[in-house]
């Protein structure tokens, strides 16, 4: 039980005592010279676990996506992505501003591009058209409620892109949530993509950091891009040490977050004035709608008054995210609050 129940995001997780201890004892060196042994260990582990040749530590998921995109495209090209994905909606237009790229958002039902959409959207050789430079996909999908695409869906999209000579980047900020939820090795989700990012600083519980993984040549180029945008860190082993603990202890534990999210969602279903599609609750995110914007504001404020923080994700949309610092008692308290506030809406 915690004084404040923090359900806004899994980015609020605090480093465990074991992480702090590992950070304090980390063996370090200058990572721009590739001489930080702890960073190298983390990058090797990330590569191994995603079935790729190499990994690269970056500061954040946003930096990881940007660097991976810039490493595989040329200014003036177009990238294909789903209209609700994080790269398009929430990364400050970095691909356009820093990569000179045109983003082409495509509407999807569950957040996942279909092979057909990719086939029909890759540009032809016509002189008027931009060149399609990259396809970006996201798994799990944040805005669609932490939904998972299967390894088979990813393979089919990648096959369509590769048939047109276009590489694929996977924003796997919560890749391991998908792997745990579908009980498949992470490698199954990443085998067919050319690059991927995953975050250490969300459900895995590290304070900072994301990894890009890909072939030696993609990672070599990504290393240059990371340096260009000021992301070359020096004794970054203090961060990597926490990341290694996160990878060792944080992955299997995600199943607990999924169970709590499910419990929360199932109990919310019966409350007046709330709409929720249980089918979207596959991992640690619960998104639901409130009948009016006023009531959504009332719900967020009522929760805050009870020391329960939820994310007001849109005018009538609320998001709750479970993570290692939310326990069963916290879920019970949150549900009591939702029940009390919505009781007046009957
Ligand atoms: C799907 C997805 N991609 C990328 C990011 C960006 O990660 P960061 O906050 O570390 O920049 C997030 C953050 O919530 C996300 O949900």
∠ CA 326-258-137, nearest 5°, is: 115
Model pLDDT for residues 3-23, shown as the tens digit of each residue: 999 999 999 999 999 999 999
Rounded Cα distance, 216 and 44, in Å? 12
346 band by pLDDT with thresholds 50, 70 and 90 = confident
Contact indicator for 169, 85 with CB cutoff of 8 Å: no
> Looking at the predicted structure, is the pLDDT value of residue 247 above 90?
yes
3-state secondary structure of 234: coil
Q: Residue 69 has which token pair?
A: 């995109």
Residue entry with tokens 């009538």 = 316
The residue-averaged pLDDT of 203-209 equals 98
> Looking at the predicted structure, is the pLDDT value of residue 1 above 90?
no
Whether cis (ω within 30° of 0) applies to the bond prior to 140 is yes
Helix (H) or strand (E) holding 24: helix 17-25
Q: Which residues pair with 311 in a beta bridge?
A: 319
User: What values do phi and psi take at 73, rounded to 5?
Assistant: -135, 170
Of ligand 1's listed atoms, the one at least distance from the Cα of 138 is 1
> Looking at the predicted structure, is the pLDDT value of residue 270 above 90?
no
Contact indicator for 108, 82 with CB cutoff of 8 Å: yes
For residue 196, the CA-to-ligand 1 centroid distance in Å is 13
Is residue 199 within 6 Å of ligand 1 at its C-beta? yes
Model pLDDT for residues 162-180, shown as the tens digit of each residue: 999 999 999 999 999 999 9
Q: Which residues pair with 141 in a beta bridge?
A: 147
Of ligand 1's listed atoms, the one at least distance from the Cα of 210 is 10
Of ligand 1's listed atoms, the one at least distance from the Cα of 171 is 3
The residue-averaged pLDDT of 131-149 equals 97
Output the pLDDT for position 18: 97
Output the pLDDT for position 165: 98
Is residue 78 within 6 Å of ligand 1 at its C-beta? no
> Looking at the predicted structure, is the pLDDT value of residue 331 above 90?
yes
Contact indicator for 64, 213 with CB cutoff of 8 Å: no
Residue entry with tokens 């595989």 = 72
Is residue 121 within 6 Å of ligand 1 at its C-beta? no
Q: Residue 137 has which token pair?
A: 């996909």
Task: Quote the longest CA-to-CA distance of the chain.
Answer: 64
Structure letter (DSSP) for residue 141:
B
Query: In a mutational test of the pocket of ligand 1, which residue from 140, 173, 200, 246 has the highest number of ligand atoms less than 8 Å from its CB?
Result: 173
Is residue 197 within 6 Å of ligand 1 at its C-beta? no
Interaxial angle between packed helices 17-25 and 237-249, expressed in degrees from 0 to 180 and rounded to the nearest 10:
140
Listed in sequence order, the residues at least 6 apart from 228 whose beta carbon sits closer than 8 Å to its beta carbon are: none
Helix (H) or strand (E) holding 338: helix 328-343
Tell the residue nearest (CA) to atom 4 of ligand 1: 61
3-state secondary structure of 56: strand
Average pLDDT along the chain: 97
> Looking at the predicted structure, is the pLDDT value of residue 135 above 90?
yes
* Residue among 65, 89, 45 at smallest CA distance from 198: 65
The whole model's pTM is what?
A: 0.97
Tell the residue nearest (CA) to atom 5 of ligand 1: 61
Helix (H) or strand (E) holding 5: strand 5-6
Model pLDDT for residues 67-93, shown as the tens digit of each residue: 999 999 999 999 999 999 999 999 999
Output the pLDDT for position 184: 98
Output the pLDDT for position 179: 98
């Amino acid at each position: 039980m915690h004084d404040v129940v923090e359900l806004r995001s899994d980015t609020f997780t605090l480093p465990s005592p074991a992480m702090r201890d590992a950070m304090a004892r980390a063996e370090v060196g200058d990572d721009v010279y590739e001489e930080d042994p702890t960073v190298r260990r983390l990058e090797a582990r990330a590569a191994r676990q995603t079935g790729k040749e190499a990994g690269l530590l970056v500061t954040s998921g946003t930096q990881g996506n940007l660097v991976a995109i810039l490493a595989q495209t040329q200014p003036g090209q177009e990238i294909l992505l789903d209209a609700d994905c994080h790269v398009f909606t929430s990364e400050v237009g970095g691909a356009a501003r820093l990569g000179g790229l045109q983003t082409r958002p495509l509407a999807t039902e569950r957040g996942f591009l279909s092979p057909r959409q990719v086939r029909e959207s890759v540009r032809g050789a016509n002189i008027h058209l931009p060149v399609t430079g990259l396809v970006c996909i996201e798994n799990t999908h944040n805005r669609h409620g932490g939904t998972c695409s299967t390894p088979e869906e990813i393979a089919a999209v990648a096959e369509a892109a590769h048939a047109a000579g276009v590489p694929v980047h996977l924003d796997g900020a919560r890749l391991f949530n998908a792997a745990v939820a579908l009980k498949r090795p992470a490698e199954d989700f990443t085998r067919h993509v050319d690059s991927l990012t995953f975050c250490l600083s969300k459900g895995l519980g590290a304070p900072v950091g994301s990894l890009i993984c890909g072939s030696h040549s993609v990672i070599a180029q990504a290393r240059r891009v990371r340096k260009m945008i000021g992301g070359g860190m020096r004794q970054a082993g203090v961060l990597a040490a926490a990341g290694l603990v996160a990878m060792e202890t944080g992955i299997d534990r995600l199943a607990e977050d999924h169970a709590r999210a499910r419990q929360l969602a199932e109990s919310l279903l019966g409350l007046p004035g709330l709409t929720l599609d249980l089918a979207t609750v596959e991992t640690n995110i619960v998104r639901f709608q409130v009948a009016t914007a006023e009531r959504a504001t009332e719900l967020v404020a009522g929760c805050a008054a009870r020391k329960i923080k939820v994310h007001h994700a849109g005018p009538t949309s609320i998001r709750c995210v479970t993570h290692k610092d939310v326990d069963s008692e916290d879920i019970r308290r949150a549900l009591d609050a939702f029940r009390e506030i919505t009781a007046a809406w009957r």
